[in-house]
Structure 1
Amino acid sequence: MSHNILGASYHGWLNNRPALIVLVFSVFALIMIQTALLSRQQTLDELERKTEADLNRYILSVEQKLDRFKDLPKLLSTHSELYAVLPVPENETETLRVNRYLEQVNETIGASDTYLMNAEGLTVAASNWASERPFVGGNFRFRPYFQDAIRGQAGRYFALGTTSLQRGYFFSYPVFDKQQVVGVVVVKIDLNDVEEHWADPLLDILVTDADDVIFISTRPEWMFRTLRPLPPEDQQRVVQSLRYGDSALIPLDIINREPLSSGSQVITLLDQERKHGGEVAEQVRSKQYLLLSKAIPDTGLHASVLASLKPVEQRMITALMLVAFIYVALVLLILVLVARHRIKRERTEFQTREHSALEESEARVRAIIDNTHAGLITLDTKGCIASLNPTAEKLFGFNAQEICGQYFSQLLAEEDRAVCWHHIMAPEERESELMVEASGRRKDHSVFPIELTIGTMNVDSQQQFLVTIHDITERKEYEQQLKNAREDLEFRVQERTADLSRANSKLLEEMALHSRTQNELIQTAKLAVLGQLSAGINHELNQPLTAIRNYADNASAFLQRSKYDVVASNLHEISGLTERMAKIIHPLKEFARKSSGQIEIVSIRAVRDGAMSVMYGRLDKEEVTVVWPQNLDELYVRGDTLRLEQVFVNLLSNALQAMTGQAEKRIEIDASLTQDRVTLTLRDLGPGLEEPGKVFEPFYTTKKAGQGLGLGLSISHRIIESLQGRLSAGNHPDGGAVFTLELPRAQVHAADEALDKTGS
């Protein structure tokens, strides 16, 4: 009967679903609105009580601080030393004593500044007399605290200091001499502690004057702004009093005020977002604050607290989420109760299907275990065999009836039993499953290699072990074959390595021999050039030697005649001739020495000078004109100076010999630059090259017998290649041979440094 009733209710709910959904959402909306209103009012009342307590606590701390200092000016006015500098200081000693006294008092009471003014408002002594901006000499008669004190009353005032530009609260008291006011004592204190110690990010403290100008705030960007727009006359009055310097007194951007019954306000303020660390961001957003204000007694000041309404919004959101959760939970509970009957009916059907599926699954698992190629053995907690599949029976030669209940260790060789037994019987040291290679023991006591894995499993809340066994006889045989092949390969590699080492040593010896042979050929070529050079030098030395002999004979004759002036002139001429001979011999000595072989930055101009010093005799004798480029000072390459000089000497010598017997003998040298290369071309007016492709081959020459070995151009080609350059040969379209020389370019600044070092 109950089953029929529930079924009818369930079907009736399904038929009326649209109307029920509308009702559910209507009730939900009404509950959420009421919850939001009640939660906001309750949270706002709690925030107002907390904010008022914080405001009272702050006002109390300000009153206590003011009470500590309010009677100090009166006490200081009775000190006799002050009269020594009033109305005008008589001497510097008295003034210094009063300044030091005020400095000591100021340090003792912990005030910001303490100073003394005469009846005209001139500061005659101050505690900051030794600072960079002392008050001494300043006139503050325009300050209200001075005007109150000069009338015989105690004064109070808050303003920016005109000298220090620091905010401060001023206490003043008149100094009497025979019932007459002769001066004013002022104590300035700092009320900025709240800005340094207030740590509540949701609560901001403001202190305003009677004009609602903010001069103390936990928000620096609100400083010297107003809580309300000031009338023009009030703003002009505050600016003329210099109370806040040149501040613009702009009002805060309050776009809405909502008065509350308690007298406080909820204001909407356009405020800049503050980043982490207090930095002000550029984005401006409207925020709501609870504003409470109270007067600080006997000061003329007002303290205000702006409490962020973010906690109110968060409380509202929390309450709405809680009510929504409860409402949804109730609706779901009803749905659960309605659907419970259907679930019970379906559960019975599900259990029947599940039991059938479980039996089918067990049958499939058993079929997989029986037909797998790996041996599977289950062990109980004591390490005894509980079951084994047909593959394991074939591997070990046992059937399940005769082996079940016995220890698993009898299926292993004795040397492997300890490891497996320790893994089974020591659960505290068992981190994961055990996987080892071991030796299996068959029923006939034969041994074969196996790969053994022992893992754990839970069966009926009891821990058991599953042993997986693979026969690895074939793998072991393959590994042995692979090992034998590897050993044979290593032996062959060692033999080949020995052969390569011997061949490498022989190659190194041949390379060293080749290098020495090349260097000797280079030096031989240089000496061949020196032979030609020495013939010209010998001819040039004959004339200076003949002249020296004549000058010496003449000097001897004139010396006997006591003509010392003539003797001195002859000796001077002899000295000049010897210097000329030294210059003739110097290129021979420089060209003969061997190069260091180091790559350095080389000036083409220096190479030209060296080569021309070697060749000038032959060129002059043969009346050959050599035209060099004008921009040699800009050409720097990476190379070796002596080797490059030898290359140019070889090229000039070949050009000179090619033009033998001609009427016009001229050698033209051009230069061009790219980003990383310097290209030099040398052209002569000779007959040209018969086979340009063979000129760099060793011992190739077109000269007559006795004029050369054909090694000059070959050696020059090797020198340029060793310097990472390129030397090529060809014929000019207008006649004559052309040799093109390419070399790596060096940077100009690097070349300048190299030349500076050479010059130094």
Structure 2
Amino acid sequence: MGSTGGGLGGGAPRVKKQFLTALGSLVVIGILFAVYGSPIIERRYLKEAEVQGATTLRLAVAALDGHLRRFEPLPALIADQPAIEALIQSPDDPVLRHATNLYLSGINALLKSSDIYMMTMDGETIAASNYDLPTSFIGQNFSYRPYFQEAAAGAQARFYALGTTSARRGYYFSSPIEIGGRILGVIVFKVDIDTIEASWVGGDSRIFVSDPEGIIFMTGTPEWLYSAILPLTPERLTRTRASRRYSDAILRELPVAERQDDGHRLLTVTDPGGAREYLATSQPMPQAGWTVTVLTDTVSARAQAQTAVVVALLSLCLAGLGLAILMQRRARLAERLHLQAEAREELERRVEERTADLARVNHRIEEEIAERRLTEQQLRQTQADLIQAGKLAGLGQMSAALSHEFNQPLAAAKTYADSAAVLMERGRLEEASDNVRRISALIDRMASISRHLRNFARKPNEKLGPVALDEVIRDTLEIVAARLKTADADLVIAMEEPPPLVKAGSVRLQQVLVNIITNAADAVEGLPERRIDLAVRREAGRVVLLVRDRGPGVPAAIRERIFDPFFTTKGIGKGLGLGLSISYNIVKDFGGSLSVDEHPEGGALFRIELEEVAAEVGQAAE
């Protein structure tokens, strides 16, 4: 044992030194990675963001270019139409003007463009697709627009501007109206591009289109509209105002700072929400004279880079933790070998002590088992006494109605007996014999009631077997008939044919039904609707008895306690609170279940589930 301790004494410092050396190496690696590796990872994620931005940019440019190309050849085609040529040669003819207005309106609706209009060489509009609108171009002069000036000089022209009349943005295509080698007018198409701009709203990237002066005229960020990403120098403002490209719109500089970082173009935009950095990717559209720019928020890329760095550092930490665990296990292994020898001796000593303790415990357990068996017998006897007490309590509650049931036939029998004596004195023997038969029937009726009450009151044995439900229900009716009559309640029975057999005890099942039907009679007594339904049906190899009343029902607050012993909602002296508790335990002893719920149409619904047995099995006495 001494040599083992010495080995441990020399091994622990050595393991500790190795651990500190390895831990120091991991710390150095982590610092180097954080200093030199983090920028590399950040540039990698910025590159991925730039590639995604370039893809978005190509899609945006393709959508814009495709949308504009649809309308580019149309002005020249319409300029050659007979209606256009006729009106440009006779611009003051009202009939030709009206016909051309209708023609342009129809073409505009067919092509789903914004507006189509034609002008004379002095820039006055003489026909337009919006001739019948308050914002009609007819009579307006657009000679200051570059698209008019270029078309009047004989060229196909393009121009983007904010309409001075309609106050709507659009892209203009113009073409000269040439007849016999002479240019007599200009035809113009205005295309609405709001649909493309609307598709940019709410995306992951911010997209905008700027003109040659750096002014944003299309963007998915409405607050950037008519903002300049280049300084608004006097020269730029003069060129913009000369063409009235943006009408009366207020132009302002977008608070933006641009810088280059390892080949990436980064823009920092300051707005009321704070400054945000974006990765910018741009592509010119030479034919339109536009520049399309896609801004990708760098927050996501930098966050991903930081996450990657954190994950790498955590991995190093986990490696250090694994190394620490390994070192600790090596130290503990040596210690465990030493402790095992001591533990073996201690174990042998404790085994002897535990053996003696187990002997004493076994003796106490045997005594407790005997006590529990005695207690269980006493509990069963108590339960049987409670069941009997519940029966007797039920009989006591029915005593007034039962006395009425006995008094009525007794009074009738006395009347028939007195009448029979008088009839016999008068020699009317046949009528007297009929009275005697009536008396005999009344006596049989009282004997039947008495027999059912006697069977209900006696203590049953524990034997279970097949019980015919129709017979149990019939005997139950004999007992509860008086209570139903007192409550003026109707019991409606619905049973499947043939009547099912269930595993139960007939007298105890009868007691359950008496308790539940009596409670139902109490619930409906004095109410306008005093109907009680008893339904019997088969469900998946089980027999279900449903007893529903039209009373106030069982509130959810007491539904969980209604089967507790001595719990009752009746007044003092009207119940012991044992009926439903006894019924619950009886059904449970049968291997079934008893529950209560609220019927959807009102009233309480008691549900009894019992096991169905085959019809050929003999009946079991109880």
Corresponding residue for residue 259 of structure 1: 260
Structure 1 residues 23 and 490: alpha-carbon distance in aligned structure 2, compared to 1, 3 A threshold: farther
d(CA) in 2 for partners of 1:304, 1:160: 20
Partners of 1:32 and 1:18 in 2: how far apart?
21
Match of 2:330 among 341, 348, 352: 341
User: What do the CA deviations read for 1:114-156 (whole angstroms, capped 9, x no partner)?
Assistant: 1111111111111222333222222111111011111122211
Whole-Å Cα distance in 1 between the matches of residues 178 and 48 of structure 2? Answer: 53
Within 5 A, what are the aligned runs for 1:159-170? Answer: 159-170=161-172
| Matched position secondary structure for 1:133 | coil
**Hey, what does 1:121 align to over in structure 2?**
123
Mark the CA change 1:474 to 1:50 in structure 2 (over 3 Å): closer, same or farther. Answer: closer
**Kindly tell me: are residues 156 and 390 of structure 1, through their superposed partners in 2, closer, same or farther at Cα, counting changes over 3 Å?**
same
How high is the TM-score relative to the length of structure 1?
0.46
Q: For each residue in 1:479-498, what CA deviation from the matched residue of structure 2 results, as whole angstroms up to 9, or x when unmatched?
A: 64576467657879999xxx
The residue aligned with 2:270 is 270
Distance 1:2 1:333 in 2: 27
Paired with 2:349 and 2:378, the residues of 1 have a C-alpha distance of 34
Residues 1:294 and 1:36: Cα distance change in structure 2 (over 3 Å): same
**In the alignment, which of 226, 243, 250 is matched to residue 228 of structure 2?**
226
Is residue 239–residue 246 contact of structure 1 (8 Å, CA) maintained in 2?
A: no
Mapped partners of 1:358, 1:251: distance in 2: 90
Question: Letter of the aligned partner of 2:279 in structure 1?
Answer: L
Q: Distance in 2 between matches of 1:73 and 1:308?
A: 41
1:172 match: 174
Q: Quick one: structure 1 residues 226 and 179, their matched pair in 2 at CA, closer, same or farther if it must change by over 3 Å?
A: same
1:298 corresponds to 2:206: no
Secondary structure of the structure 1 residue equivalent to 2:40:
helix
Paired residue type of 1:308: D
The residue number in structure 1 matching 2:415 is: none
Q: Secondary structure at the match of 1:164?
A: coil
How far off its partner does 1:19 sit? 8.2
Does the 8 A contact of 1:85 with 1:95 survive in 2? yes
Q: Which residue matches 1:196?
A: 198
Name the counterpart of 1:89.
91
Alpha-carbon distance in structure 2 between the residues aligned to 1:2 and 1:88 = 121
What CA distance in whole angstroms lies between the structure 2 residues aligned with 1:136 and 1:374?
114
Residues 500-579 of structure 1 mapped to structure 2, 5 A cutoff: none
Conservation of the 8 A alpha-carbon contact between 1:154 and 1:174: yes
User: Aligned with 1:86: secondary structure?
Assistant: helix
Which of the residues 19, 27, 30 maps onto 1:28? Answer: 30
2-structure distance, mates of 1:33, 1:120:
70
CA 1:491–1:334: 2 relative to 1, 3 Å: same
Determine whether 1:324 maps to 2:326: no
Stretches of structure 1 that go unaligned for 5 or more consecutive residues are 273-283, 376-388, 396-448, 451-468, 496-760
Contact 1:78–1:175 under 8 Å retained in 2: yes
Change (3 A) 1:355 1:205: farther
Count of aligned pairs between the two proteins: 397
Deviation at 1:51, TM superposition (A): 1.5
Matched ranges for 1:608-687 at <5 A = none
- SS of 2:70 mapped into structure 1: helix
Answer yes or no: is 1:315 the counterpart of 2:315: no
Q: Measure how far apart 1:356 and its partner are.
A: 9.3
Contact 1:204 1:218 in 2 (8 A): yes
Amino acid corresponding to residue 268 of structure 2 in structure 1: T
Kindly indicate whether structure 1 or structure 2 has the higher relative contact order, using CA contacts under 8 Å at least 6 residues apart.
2
Q: Report the equivalent of 1:473.
A: 381
Please tell me whether the aligned partners of residues 201 and 221 of structure 2 are also in contact (alpha carbons under 8 angstroms).
no
* 1:198 CA displacement: 3.5
Separation (CA, whole Å) in 2 of partners of 1:359 and 1:243 = 105
Output the CA distance in 2 between the equivalents of 1:21 and 1:358: 44
Instruction: State the distance in 2 between where 1:358 and 1:258 align.
Output: 80
Select the residue among 63, 67, 71 that pairs with 2:69. Answer: 67
Asked whether the 8 Å contact 1:52–1:292 carries over to 2, the reply is yes
Seen in structure 2, the aligned counterparts of structure 1 residues 100 and 3 have a Cα distance that, compared at 3 Å, is: farther
Higher alpha-carbon Rg: 1
Conservation of the 8 A alpha-carbon contact between 2:154 and 2:176: yes
Distance 1:219 1:36 in 2: 32
Within the candidate set 7, 10, 13, 1:11 is matched to: 13
Q: Provide the rounded CA distance (Å) in 2 between the counterparts of 1:103 and 1:8.
A: 101
Deviation at 1:177, TM superposition (A): 2.8
Preserved contact between residue 87 and residue 183 of structure 1 (Cα < 8 Å): no
Partner Cα separation in structure 2 for residue 265 and residue 126 of structure 1: 45
The verdict on how the C-alpha distance between 1:483 and 1:347 changes in structure 2, with shifts beyond 3 A counting, is farther
Say if 1:470 and 1:194 are closer, same or farther in 2 by CA, change over 3 A. Answer: farther
1:237–1:477 CA distance, 2 compared to 1 (3 A): same
Q: Following the alignment from structure 2 to structure 1, what is the Cα–Cα distance between the partners of residues 387 and 100?
A: 105
* 1:257 Cα deviation after fit: 2.3
Pairing 1:243–2:249 present? no
Give the superposed CA RMSD: 3.9
Please say if residues 291 and 305 of structure 1, whose CA atoms lie closer than 8 Å, have aligned partners that are also in contact: yes
13 and 343 in structure 1: CA distance in 2 versus 1, 3 angstrom threshold: closer
Mapping for residues 432-451 of structure 1, pairs under 5 Å:
none
Q: Give secondary structure in 2 for the equivalent of 1:69.
A: coil
Residues 246/199 of structure 1: CA separation in 2 closer, same or farther (3 Å cut): closer
Tell me the amino acid that sits aligned with residue 43 of structure 1. Answer: Y
Three-state SS of the structure 1 residue aligned to 2:171 is: strand
Q: Quickly say closer, same or farther: Cα 1:208–1:287, change in 2 above 3 A.
A: same
Q: Does the 8 Å CA contact 1:370/1:390 hold for their aligned counterparts?
A: no
Give per-residue Cα distances to partners, 1:162-182, cap 9 Å, x unaligned. Answer: 122111110111112332221
TM-score normalised by the chain length of structure 2 = 0.56
Q: Match of 2:265, as an amino acid?
A: Q
Amino acid aligned to 2:329? R
Pair 1:135–1:357, CA change in 2 (3 A)? farther
